[in-house]
Amino acid sequence: MTGGPTPTPAEARLAGQLEALFDVVGRIAFTALDGRDDAHYLEEKARDLARAADRVADCLEAGRDEVGGHTVRVGVVARLAADLVRRQPAGRLLFPRAGDGVR
C-alpha cells in the first residue's frame, strides 16, 4: 500500500478477500466481453463469486468488537484493496492510474 496508515492483520485479510472477489468479477466480465459462449464456466464463476462474497462477509463479521461495531478502517482497506486489485486487468480498469496500459 502506498502511504497512509499501516493496515492491521484483519484489514489486510479483508483486502485480500476483496481482491479475490474482484478477480472473480473480472473473470466473469471479461468472459462476457470476449463473447465466450460457455455457460458451464459462467456457472462455476458465479459459484466462486458467492463463495468470495461469503469470505468477505466472514472477515467483516470477525472484525466486530464486543458491542457490534466494526474494528476495520474501511478507508485503509479500500486503499489496500485497490492496490492489490490493480494487479489484474479488471482492476486497472476500475482503479486507473496515469500511464496504465489497458487491455
Prediction pTM value: 0.80
Residue 29 has a pLDDT of: 85
Pair 83, 22: CB distance under 8 Å: no
Residue 1 lies in a domain: no
Q: Measure the CA–CA gap between 22 and 6, rounded to whole angstroms.
A: 22
What is the tens place of the pLDDT at every residue in 29-58? Answer: 888 778 778 889 999 999 999 999 999 999
Q: By three-state DSSP, how is residue 25 classified?
A: helix
* Total domains present in the chain: 1
Q: By three-state DSSP, how is residue 70 classified?
A: strand
Rounded mean pLDDT, 19-38: 86
Q: Quote the domain boundaries for residue 67.
A: 9-92
Bigger pLDDT: 22 vs 3: 22
Q: Please say if the pLDDT value at position 2 is more than 60.
A: no
Residue 13 lies in a domain: yes
